[in-house]
Amino acid sequence: MTVTREFAFSQGLPPAGAIPGSPGTFDPDDPLHGELLRLNVGPQHPATHGVLRLMVTLDGETIHEMEPVVGYLHRGKEKAAESLGWRKFFAHTDRLDYVQPLLNNVGYALTLEKLAGVEVPERAQVLRVLLMELSRIMAHLIYLGTTSIDLGAISMFFFTFEERERAYNVLDAYTGHRMNHSFVRLGGVYADVDAEVEQALADFIEQFPAKIDQFESLLTGNRIWHDRNRNVGIMTGEEAKAWSLTGPNLRGSGVDCDLRKDEPYSGYEDYDFEVPVGTIGDCYDRYLVRVEEMRQATRLCSQALARLKETRGAPVLMEDRRFVLPPKQTVQTSMEELIHQFKIVTDMPLPAGEAYQGVESSKGELGFFAVSDGTSSPVRCHIRAPGLMNVQVIPLLARGRLFSDTVAIIGSLDFVMGEVDR
């Protein structure tokens, strides 16, 4: 499904080479050219979405060269996995892309399940899809809010955060946390939804499409928003693939690639949803793709909610006592269950081998690659963070553009430094 909008004022694509200030126009021998200005942007700067640092070389207001510097939020997550062991690392996956903790949880859980060779109950899969799509909505709301604030539409930030707040409240009621839920377990999810939470979820999903319409009415057809984003930061599908971009940034460039469709997991193949793709791959296309993804995520959520009704009462966690903690009540009454609990908490080995599982996160393909030597902690746990690839293309898109365009480009690429630096 191609998302595209045409307005009376749309002027179409500029002819090749007509984009102002194309790279390489700086000639140091030209006496009229003055000198280049080296500008340090970040790591503390309003537009860098966290602690990204950009070393910019400006020719007037045109970007001559730009170099992103990452690592200011490096916490050694991958190494932490090696010392913490399989189970305890769940809490750390929350803190990777901290605007969508549940999606990270699921990605890690799927990898461990692949390694352990187990299958989670159906109801758990439905709940996971629900949580993942809700996370996607929440992450895209952050994208919309922060990008708008970068481009000057400050109130949008509050409108999106109001919606996020609603989602927070629902998740708070369900998981007991507003952020960093750590709610997904190897073998399912921690607890079933109760009737109240289910109703709250349904209410949120029901009112949300109208809110998307409101957001769009403020931005999509707005001439200023259109002009700030259209034809800015154009990236062809080939370029996007060459820079191993995934997710909305790749789809914005017109490549129909979505892990939920191409390599379904958690039962995504049974859901009815569409994958939006852009046309020319500029900031505006990436914006349209994300907005449409929010709509599709809403559709997925309501389908998942319908399935929850069908599977009511079914287990949400495996009964496999090799990997799944027994319920607390039985631990206190049964000798075997106590042993299981003790064993899982102190030493839960996964079979030797390696596994990679990617999930379609809000930023792209979030992959976990885990290598096990049959002990209770990984030999290596690599995280394929889509945000890192998104940061990589900033210079490509920004070169030759005006400095003001960087904020549009950075915003439209959408990354979270917690995930980029890990």
Residue of 10, 222, 244, 392 that binds other proteins (CB under 8 A):
222
In this structure, what are the phi and psi dihedrals at residue 339, rounded to the nearest 5 degrees?
-65, -45
| Binding of other proteins by 399 (CB under 8 A) | no
Q: How far is the CB of 29 from other proteins (least distance, A)?
A: 24
In this structure, what are the phi and psi dihedrals at residue 122, rounded to the nearest 5 degrees?
-65, -45
Between 47 and 197, name the residue whose CB sits nearer to other proteins.
47
| Binding of other proteins by 214 (CB under 8 A) | no
**Integer Cα distance of 219 and 102 in angstroms:** 29
**Integer Cα distance of 175 and 63 in angstroms:** 46
List of residues 6+ apart from 135 with CB closer than 8 A = 100, 101, 102, 103, 362
Q: How far is the CB of 150 from other proteins (least distance, A)?
A: 4
**Integer Cα distance of 414 and 162 in angstroms:** 20
Between 222 and 311, name the residue whose CB sits nearer to other proteins.
222
According to CB under 8 A, which residues from 58 to 77 bind other proteins? 61
- Select the span of 41-49, 176-184, 269-277, 292-300 touching other proteins (CB under 8 A): 41-49
| Binding of other proteins by 150 (CB under 8 A) | yes
Q: Give the sign of the dihedral formed by CA 271, CA 277, CA 283, CA 287.
A: negative
Between 25 and 155, name the residue whose CB sits nearer to other proteins.
155
Bridge partners of residue 37, in order along the sequence:
58
- Per-residue contact flags (x/-) with other proteins for residues 6 to 35, judged by CB under 8 A: --------------x---------------
| Binding of other proteins by 162 (CB under 8 A) | yes
Residue of 225, 268, 273, 287 that binds other proteins (CB under 8 A):
225
Q: How far is the CB of 66 from other proteins (least distance, A)?
A: 13
List of residues 6+ apart from 275 with CB closer than 8 A = 1, 251, 256, 258, 260, 261, 296
| Binding of other proteins by 404 (CB under 8 A) | yes
Residue of 365, 406, 413, 418 that binds other proteins (CB under 8 A):
406
- Select the span of 295-303, 335-343, 360-368, 403-411 touching other proteins (CB under 8 A): 403-411
Nearest partner of 189 among 262, 233, 135, judged by Cα: 135
The DSSP symbol for 268 reads G
Distances from the Cα of 364 to the Cα of 51, 299, 419, angstroms: 20, 20, 12
| Binding of other proteins by 402 (CB under 8 A) | yes
| Binding of other proteins by 213 (CB under 8 A) | no
Contact 89, 80 (CB under 8 A): yes
360: enclosing H helix or E strand: strand 353-360
Q: Which residues of this chain interact with other proteins, rule CB under 8 A?
A: 20, 37, 39, 45-47, 61, 148-155, 158-159, 162, 218-219, 222, 224-225, 227-228, 402-407
